A and B are shown apart, each in its own frame.
Chain A
Amino acid sequence: MIIHYLRQCCGIIALTGFAVLPACAADRFETGLWPAPLTDGTRVNIAGEGRAVATLDGNTLTVSGDFHGLKSNATTAQLDFGIAIGALGPKAFELTVTPATDGTISGTAKLSAAQAAGVRSGKFYVQINSEKAPDGNLIGWLLPPHPFPGEDVPEPGHGFLPQLDIAQH
C-alpha cells in the first residue's frame, strides 16, 4: 500500500539493483476541511466545509483550497505542524484567506528539511479560523491522494489507513 501511494506521488519508482526512492518532481497532498473542534456547545458557531490541495516541489510548499458555509467570516488561515497525524501542533505558516463565510485559501512557504519531512509524513494540517471560532473552525490533515470510491462501493483490503500507508520519516 505504501508503494501504491508513492507511485501516486512520484509517478514511478526506479529500481536499479537496489531500491531507490527517486526525488519526486512534486509530491501532491490533499484534504477535506471539516468543522473542528466540536462540542454540542460550539457547533452553533463552528460549521462549514472545504477542501485543500498542496504540492511540495523541493522545499517549496504551495497550498490552495476553498471553503463555504461558515457561521461567521473567516479571519485567518494557517498551516500547523503537529507531532503526529491527527495531533495538533503550533502554527508554521500563515495562509491567505477570503474574509467571508465562503471563499478561498492560498499560500506558498519555503520549508526546512524537517518541515518537508513533516509534510510527507502527514503531520501538517490546514486550519481556518473565523470571527466566532477564533481557535479553529475548519481543519484537515494534508495526506497523499486517497480517492474515495463512494458509498456502497467496497475497497480492497483496508482501504486507506494513514499509519499504514504513509512512510514515517
Chain B
Amino acid sequence: MSQEIMAAPSTTLNKDRLLELYSRMLTIREFEEKAQDLYSRTLIPGLLHSSVGQEAVAVGVCAALRDDDYIASTHRGHGHCIAKGADIGRMFAELFGKAEGYCRGKGGSMHIANQAVGNLGANAIVGGNIPIVTGAALSAKMRATDQVAVSFFGDGALNQGILLESMNMAAIWSLPVIYACENNHYGEYTPMELVTAGDIKQRGTSLGIASEVVDGNDVLEVYRATMEAVDRGRRGGGPTFLIFNTYRYYGHGMSDRDRPYRSRDEEKEWRESRDPLDRFAARLIDAGHMTPSEKDRIHTDVTGLITRGVEFGTRSPFPDPDEVLKHVYAD
C-alpha cells in the first residue's frame, strides 16, 4: 500500500496535504450526514441530494485546482462546494434559507455559488452547468489567463444533448475545460446501463478529447488524473474528459428511501469494500502518514467544524422580506 502512494505522481503531496485531503473528505461526509439529519427533522426545507460515497471525486479534483480556477456543480453539489473552499457555516445558512447563506437564502441546496473561489454555482438542471463552464473556459482563453474550468456532472447528464454541443466547441477551440463525470451508476432512479449506449469514454475520444476512466473512490487517482488534465488545459492542450467511477450510498434525494432499483448487497459491497474514506485512511496509516491518534484528532476537528457550522446557520437571521425583489436585475 505504501508503495502505491509513493508510485503515484501525488508524491508531490506532503503529509500535511495528504491529511488535508482526508480531512476535506470527512468534512463532506459529516456535512452530508448532518444535513440529512436536519432535513429529517424538518429544519431544512425543500430538496436535498446527498453525495455520501462520492467524496473522493470532489476532493481529488479540487485539490488539483487553484482558487481562481472555475468549477460548477450539480444538484448533488455540497461536496464540490466544500472541496473548492466553501465555509461550512455559510453552507448551512444557505440550506436553512438564511440571509448569511452563500446566496442570501435565494438559492438553497441546489444553487450554492461562491464567486471568491471560482464556484460558478450548482445547477439543478441535469447537465445545466456544462455549457456555462465551457464558456468560462472560453473566457479564460480569450482573457489569456491560464485558468482552467471544471464541469461536474453525473452519468445522467451523459444523455443530454448539450454535452455534445459543448464538448465539440471545447475541442475545436482547444478550451481549458475538464468534463468531470461522476459515474455513480444511477441517473436519479434508473440504472445507467438501461439508458446509456456504447462506451462512455468514446464520447470524448471520438471528438479527439483526451479521455480516461478513473477509480473515483481513490482520491489520489482522482488527483493524479485531474492534475494531468489541468496541466493540459494550462498549456493550451485543450479539454479532458474524466469518468470517475463511484457510488451514491443514499437514494437520489431524501424521498428515495427504499431504492427498489438496486440491491442491498450491491450497496453493502461498495460501502464495505470500496469506501473512499476507509481506503484512504488505511493507506495513510499503512504508509506512516497518519497515526491513529492523528486520525482521531481529524475526526474531532471535523465534528467541531460541523457543529459550529450548524450553530452559525441556526443563528443567522432569515432574509428581510424585502429581499424577494432584490437581485432580479443587476445594476
Do the two chains belong together in a single complex? no
